[in-house]
Structure 1
Amino acid sequence: MTRVRHNDYGVLRPPAVGAWEPSLRVSVVIPAYNCAEALERTVPALARQTYPAELMDVVVADDGCEPPLDVPGARVVRVAGGWGRGAARQAGQLAATGDVIHWLDADMLLADDHIEAHMRWHHLVDYAVVIGDTRFVEEPGEEGVQSEYTRKTLESSRRLKDAGASAYLLHTGASTSVRADLLRAAGGVDTSLNMAEDTELGYRLAQAGAVFIPDAEARAWHVGPSTVMLREKEVHRHNWSYLGDLIPDLRWLRSHPRRHWRVPYVRVVVTATTYEETRATVDSALAGTLADVAVTLVGPWDKLTDERRSNLDDPFLDLRLLHNLYAHEPRVSFAQSVPVSAAPAPFLLSVPTGWVLGADTLSRLVRHADRDLLGLVSVALSEGASGVVAARLERTAAFARASLLDGGADDLVDEMFGSEWVSGAEYAFAAAAEEAEPLAGDPAKWRALAGERLREVKELRAEVARLAAEVERLSAAPPADDQEGRGGLSSLFRHLRSAG
């Protein structure tokens, strides 16, 4: 299978529409609420598609219409246990049987080759999310225009090839398609959302390894303006109250310095050892300038029973003390084994127990990873007879995509996203609790600033030492170079005064 780097799908070569033989089944899922008239236009248009009829079915999710919908040419499922677009989309996809789920709004009209244009990409790779070219019209038959947001996004990103980790922001339910397996891996549709469900699903698909492909040949027309066009500020006001909690990438929605969020930006994994070492590592991760972090503490927690025991001679005493310490900390969870993925969090940091993070270690590591959209940053902490001790910052989307392909995960991540090694000392990791800066006292931002100033002092001291050595060398120069030496010495002394 072709390997796409970041979101640059230009390496894929889809066949021309009408010049290939399809084999995958597709289910077109249409959420519907009081839109029988629109469905009378949309569903018959699906019967005219060039994609083979025997490979396509249509599922309409009736979101509480009265009277219940009866749509010729489609299988109707009634939404139960909820309401709204999220619940309707999920009900429809659960009833679907296709290899691919094609979302479609009820008020859409499709070109006759629309489904075929989508499906050719899904025959190339398993991790494509295809976005149709939707135009907005007042009446059927008009050429229409793209939304301004879509137009600007496509123009500024080489049609999402350069969109990197933010390509999912163009994902909408008006006309997009995704492999059913990838949709299930991402967790399906959030049934609690009746708006913003498209963006939130797009984000989780990105974490599952998706590449987002806008296809200009997948032509479609939306009859009437969208809700965003009519009430943009109100839509954003509503949606952002949800999305700040669910999409860590939307950093501007997380301006609060210390609050807890449902989906963390970074999940830190620590394996429980001794009480003191483990506590030092976990507490340092929670005390940094990056507030939206969560810790998974790995250990045999099932061994902690309520049977009578000697409190001080308990063979699982350290484990029990750690559980007592973090039982009511909402940012710490307990796991029996190391999680395979941090999804839906975009980053996972694995830290060897006993190593502690500086105040700005996490924020600097994430900034480093984001600079070139790296999939893996390995941090060399120490080296001994058993090899290199390292921490690892993994990009969730990169490792998820690698898991869909054949080969070693690290090698595939390096090929598709890039990877680097950095020094632990450079990122303020400390070898043991007693070497670490204290967590008490000043807030994390002041500790981070102090750490930055200490690094600057070390660099200046090294520069002073270098210049002093140069002064000593020039002072020992032969008499013939005396005039030149004095000029060099004067320059060096001026440099020393300014540096010191």
Structure 2
Amino acid sequence: MRIRRNDFGVLEPPALGAWKPSMTVTVVIPAHGGQEKLDLTLAALSNQTYPAHLLDVIVVDDGSPVPLRAGQVSRAEVIRVRESWGRAAAVQAGADAATGEVVLVLDADMVPYPEHVEAQMRWHHLASYLVVLGWIDFTDPPALPSPAEVAAGVADLFPMSPHRHDWAEEIIAKHDGLRSAPSSLVSRVHVGATASYPTWLLRACGGMDTALKLAEDTELGYRLTQAGAVFVPDPEARAWHVGVPTAMRSFAELKRYNDPFVADRVPYRRYLRTDRGRQWLVPYVEAVVPAGGYEDTRATVDGLLASSLPDVRVTVEGPWESLTDSRRAPLSDPLLDLRLLRAQFAHDPRVRLAPASETMAPFRLLCPPGWMPGPQTVEGLVGHLEATDGGALCIALDETPEGVVSARLDRTAAVSRASLLIQPDERFDDVLDEVFGVEWVDGAAFGFSRRPRLYPPRRRPVPEHERLARQREKELERLRERAAALRAEVAQLRREAAKGRRDTARWKEKAENWRREAVRLAREQDRTVLDRAVRRVRNLTFPGR
């Protein structure tokens, strides 16, 4: 059965008690002390509805001061951790010894309902790559019941505690029972107190990280995702958790302890990787560049290392084993470009000179040499793939007579899923598209470009902070020049305005003088006319005088 992303709704599990199981299961119980609670766990396992001949139990004693015993449960044994300590080491020891087709891990303070194992196992009969999660009810009883009481039934045996895995149940409810949860979120609800795994899948992904003493379930859930697993929470696979777990009693202290270990191993926890320039055990993006010409390959690798995503690791593929120190003509060496690449990157911890191998990074970018991603290119591609929860982006860079030159960004979880399901007569990308989706995008739109003709540049590369400082200084200088020009213009306008005022006053004065002269002339003219009139009158009146 092919499941798209985490949508296990295509599966139809049988009703409890209405089917016939056939797969074997080994229940692994890691324990350190606590024989009294362990006896209750074993008593509950003795009363499971799953066929007893298909079920066996391994109790892993993680260095208890008083050796643990398995009690009267049939097909149960106790083994001890020999080479390490801690819950991860105990679970791994049990998984190594398991003979069942499925490994069901159950903590030693868990008391499962009679249908617990059956509810989980019915899913494993439907698909071979499921991780099934039990449902936990918390109880903190004033006194523990006897194993006989537990064997008789547990449904109403314990008082319900107000404590719950609220955060996990909220994620499950918000995403349709986890069926619509994005790939980067789906494994976050993996709480190993009760969970079952196909034995082959648990071993194929590397099992438990025994170096971890806490947060081992978080880290395992991440790797199971990358291996192609589908996570199925089943509310009918109920179990009591006896006592309040450490995560609820000491959350702040537990988070403080776990954060550095989780940050190093789980790239999905982006909020834990905010320190610029840091490198981590598991990168967010594994970039692969085939070794070509020196300038082409260097330009591509340089662009990848300058990405705005700090946790990018680059693998340069090439026949590195062919580089020997035998006598040669250095400048006409047929392997000169390969030798120059090794000299360029051999001591950069972000670059591996090796064949591409399986990666635990959530994304792998395949990029041909000679094409340079811009600073935001990788982050933009990953963001696009995350937004669509797709399986792969095929990135068109150029079209030649030979075909399309392209890069490619793959989601590791999607590639692993398709690899599990592909049949001999199928194309890989067809299967990948069916289970996650494949999309073509334009490389130029995401910032890809050909390398410059002259590479590497002969000028000293300017650090980003220095480039920004220079840009700001140029802008300030431009503003200062503009301000000076405006001040000069204002001064000129003020001078012109002052001259205008002086001219206005002068012309007013001239106008006034002209007015006065006009009045004077008018008066003189008037007197002249009057004198002439008087003389004329006199001559008429007194002729001859």
Greater CA deviation, 107-116 or 146-155?
146-155
Distance 1:311 1:79 in 2: 57
Q: Which residue of structure 1 aligns with residue 178 of structure 2?
A: 160
Q: Give the structure-1-normalised TM-score.
A: 0.85
Paired AA for residue 400 in structure 1: S
Distance 1:111 1:148 in 2: 21
Distance 1:445 1:285 in 2: 21
2:382 pairs with 1:366: yes
The partner residue of 1:76 within 70, 78, 81 is 78
Q: Is the 8 A contact 1:381 1:389 kept in 2?
A: yes
Distance 1:68 1:435 in 2: 71
2:63 pairs with 1:64: yes
Distance 1:114 1:11 in 2: 22
The partner residue of 2:421 within 402, 405, 408 is 405
Q: Is the 8 A contact 2:290 2:316 kept in 1?
A: yes
Q: Which residue of structure 2 aligns with residue 4 of structure 1?
A: 3
- CA drift at 1:24: 1.3
Q: 1:444 to 1:254 in 2, by over 3 A?
A: farther
Q: Which residue of structure 1 aligns with residue 311 of structure 2?
A: 292
Q: Which residue of structure 2 aligns with residue 34 of structure 1?
A: 33
Q: Is the 8 A contact 1:356 1:433 kept in 2?
A: no
2:276 pairs with 1:257: yes
- CA drift at 1:69: 2.4
The partner residue of 1:443 within 464, 472, 477 is 464
Q: 1:63 to 1:446 in 2, by over 3 A?
A: farther
Distance 1:144 1:301 in 2: 63
Greater CA deviation, 250-259 or 313-322?
313-322
Q: Which residue of structure 1 aligns with residue 298 of structure 2?
A: 279
Distance 1:98 1:436 in 2: 59
Q: Is the 8 A contact 1:288 1:444 kept in 2?
A: no
2:169 pairs with 1:151: yes
Paired AA for residue 462 in structure 2: G
Distance 1:90 1:10 in 2: 31
Q: Partner of 1:434: helix, strand, or coil?
A: coil
- CA drift at 1:437: 11
Distance 1:63 1:433 in 2: 60
Unpaired runs of 5+ in structure 1?
451-500
Q: Aligned ranges for residues 178-327 of structure 1 at < 5 Å?
A: 178-327=197-346
Q: Partner of 1:290: helix, strand, or coil?
A: coil
The partner residue of 1:169 within 185, 188, 198 is 188
Residues 153-195 of structure 1 deviation map (CA, whole Å, 9 limit, x = unaligned):
2222222122211110000111001111111221110000010
Paired AA for residue 271 in structure 1: P
Residues 416-473 of structure 1 deviation map (CA, whole Å, 9 limit, x = unaligned):
22221111111111122438997922439989xx9xxxxxxxxxxxxxxxxxxxxxxx
Q: Is the 8 A contact 1:173 1:198 kept in 2?
A: yes
Q: Which residue of structure 2 aligns with residue 142 of structure 1?
A: 158
- CA drift at 1:70: 2.7
- CA drift at 1:334: 2.2
Distance 1:446 1:237 in 2: 38
Greater CA deviation, 151-160 or 241-250?
151-160
- CA drift at 1:317: 2.2
Greater CA deviation, 401-410 or 353-362?
401-410
- CA drift at 1:305: 2.5
Q: 1:408 to 1:185 in 2, by over 3 A?
A: farther
Q: Aligned ranges for residues 327-476 of structure 1 at < 5 Å?
A: 327-336=346-355, 338-339=356-357, 341-342=358-359, 344-406=360-422, 407-434=426-453, 440-443=461-464
Paired AA for residue 409 in structure 1: F
Residues 197-253 of structure 1 deviation map (CA, whole Å, 9 limit, x = unaligned):
001100110111111111011010100111111011111111111101111110000
Paired AA for residue 100 in structure 2: G
Q: Which residue of structure 1 aligns with residue 128 of structure 2?
A: 126
Q: 1:208 to 1:230 in 2, by over 3 A?
A: same
Q: 1:68 to 1:316 in 2, by over 3 A?
A: farther
The partner residue of 1:103 within 93, 102, 105 is 105
Distance 1:299 1:155 in 2: 48
Name which one, 1 or 2, has greater alpha-carbon Rg: 2
Distance 2:339 2:28 in 1: 50
Distance 1:415 1:224 in 2: 44
Q: Partner of 2:177: helix, strand, or coil?
A: coil
Residues 389-415 of structure 1 deviation map (CA, whole Å, 9 limit, x = unaligned):
110000000111111113432112212
Q: Give the structure-2-normalised TM-score.
A: 0.78
Q: Is the 8 A contact 1:98 1:180 kept in 2?
A: yes
Q: Which residue of structure 1 aligns with residue 150 of structure 2?
A: none
Count of aligned positions: 444
Paired AA for residue 87 in structure 1: A
Q: Partner of 1:312: helix, strand, or coil?
A: helix
Distance 1:333 1:294 in 2: 8
2:16 pairs with 1:14: no
Distance 1:375 1:210 in 2: 14
Q: Partner of 1:404: helix, strand, or coil?
A: helix
Unpaired runs of 5+ in structure 2?
146-156, 472-545
Greater CA deviation, 86-95 or 193-202?
86-95
Q: Partner of 2:415: helix, strand, or coil?
A: helix
Residues 4-42 of structure 1 deviation map (CA, whole Å, 9 limit, x = unaligned):
222121111011111112121111111111122211111
Paired AA for residue 76 in structure 1: V
Q: 1:138 to 1:418 in 2, by over 3 A?
A: same
Residues 348-369 of structure 1 deviation map (CA, whole Å, 9 limit, x = unaligned):
0000111111110000001110
Distance 1:143 1:67 in 2: 30
Distance 1:335 1:25 in 2: 41
Q: 1:437 to 1:119 in 2, by over 3 A?
A: farther
Q: 1:314 to 1:41 in 2, by over 3 A?
A: same
Q: Percent identity?
A: 49
